[in-house]
Amino acid sequence: MFNQIKNLAGGEMYLILSLLMFMAFFIIVGIYLLKLSKQHIKIMSELPIQDNQPEGYEED
């Protein structure tokens, strides 16, 4: 399998580059999510259900 990757013509290099960029993106996002503080995640998860609306806003 690796011999096929090493012996590619010029056009297939774009496929490998796009695969590496795809993998790098998800690795970076994964690291970011692991480093998020648990308090921040808790606050963000409760945002849609909190009842802290500004004083001037009322639903009709």
pLDDT at 17: 87
Tell whether 59 is covered by a domain: no
In DSSP notation, 1-60 reads: -HHHHHT--GGGHHHHHHHHHHHHHHHHHHHHHHHS-HHHHHHHHHGGG-----TT----
Tell me the per-residue pLDDT of 1-60, one tens digit each, with 9 for 90 and over: 666 666 666 667 788 889 999 999 999 999 999 998 889 888 888 887 766 655 555 554
pLDDT at 43: 85
Range of the structural domain that residue 42 is part of: 2-48
Structural domain total, the chain = 1
pLDDT at 23: 96
pLDDT at 55: 58
Tell whether 55 is covered by a domain: no
